[in-house]
Structures are given as structure tokens and as C-alpha cells.
Amino acid sequence: MRSYSTAKRFAVSVVYAVAIVAGLGWSFGPRGLLVGLMVALLVVAWRHDNNVGLLVPLAVLLIITILVMFLIFYLLAVIHP
């Protein structure tokens, strides 16, 4: 019974993630797709976090790292046209 519950929970998480990414990607284009991927990552991390609660902070740190990389790329593109 537990495996069915876990599979159902995972399936619902995947449906939420796909709906968020598709909705924002369709509505706002590539920037919406990027935001949708970050939000979907946080939703999946939140739904599957354990009792210790380490998955959501790690997901947030991953998103911050990705945003810093994009910020550096953007600033390099602005400085060196």
C-alpha cells in the first residue's frame, strides 16, 4: 500500500511541475520557462522533503547558484558588447 501512495504522490508532483513549467513557458516565453523550472523544482522539493528538512534549503541554494551564474553572464554581456 505504501508504494502505491508514494507512486501517486510522485505522479501528482510531476503533474504539478509540468503544469507550472508549461503554463509559465507558454505565457511568458523563455523567461517564464526559466522561472517555471525554478518554481517546479521548489514544489517537487517541498512535496518530497523528509523529516530532517534538508531538501528545500538545498533546492533554494541550487536556484541561487544558477541565478548568480546567469547574473554573471548577463553582466559580462553588458560590459563587453
In angstroms, rounded to a whole number, what is the distance separating the alpha carbons of residues 13 and 79? 41
Domain count of the fold of the chain: 1
For residues 5 and 2, the model is more confident at 5
Give me the count of residues in the chain: 81
Helix segments in the chain, DSSP class H:
2-47, 55-79
Query: Distance (Å, rounded) from C-alpha 15 to C-alpha 56?
Result: 19
Share of the chain above pLDDT 90, in %: 35
How many alpha carbons fall within 13 Å on the CB side of residue 35?
A: 10
> For the packed helices 2-47 and 55-79, what is the interaxial angle rounded to 10 degrees?
40
Range of the domain at 41: 2-79
Whether pTM > 0.75 for this model: the answer is no
Region 31-43 average pLDDT: 88
